[in-house]
Amino acid sequence: MRFYIDETFQLEDKQHHKTFYALAAIGLPEDELEPVRQFLKARGHGDPLHGTELLRSDSGHKELLEITRRISHKSVEIVTSCPIEKNDRSGERARAKLIRALVSHILTKYPDTKQILFEARLTGYASEQDAKTFREIRKQLEDANIKIGQAYKTEEPLLWAADLLATSYRQMMTRAVDRYFDAWQAEVITP
């Protein structure tokens, strides 16, 4: 099993939406990696699929649901989410908390996992915070023989599936639109 993880969040805004940070994880068994990767590449016609872009058109709405239906029965989907505290303006403490909770959950429930791959973040403060969190959990992962890493969506199409799950969760949280998230079979955990 290998897990691919993307994020979504809602920071404080002028409409006073409920703040949250969430990590969306798609886990696939080894024998499904290449078929799902090729399926996503074909659906994206060579370009990365992005949930926010898909939701800008009626055909994109249908595409998101179709892709979800084709992937969800082959994968494990996990979303971990928590509110963002007011003094955590960028959500980095919430993200670190969620990374630790998600990794702990994977270690406990999916001990055959070989890799956990996060979408790479921009160089600077955000990537430094991730590096710090990864150092904290590295020993746990090494003991379990799990590799942790980061990649850009342009390098790994399986991160696109995690993005679609994250977008589906965001639609449910910010717009009260459940149909996309309900199409997945996601387990939601809160630390």
Specify the pairing of strand 2-10 against strand 115-119. Answer: parallel
Block mean pLDDT (10 aa), the chain, length 191: 96 76 98 97 93 95 96 96 90 95 96 96 86 92 94 96 97 92 94 90
Q: What is the pLDDT of residue 169?
A: 97
Identify which of 145, 155, 158 has the alpha carbon closest to the alpha carbon of residue 33.
Answer: 158
CA neighbours within 13 Å on the CB side: how many for 62? 3
Give yes or no for a contact between 62 and 86, defined as CB atoms under 8 angstroms apart. Answer: no
Q: What is the pLDDT of residue 50?
A: 95
Look up tokens 């023989």; give the residue: 145
Give yes or no for a contact between 26 and 183, defined as CB atoms under 8 angstroms apart. Answer: no
Q: What is the pLDDT of residue 32?
A: 98
Whole-structure pTM over 0.75, yes or no? yes
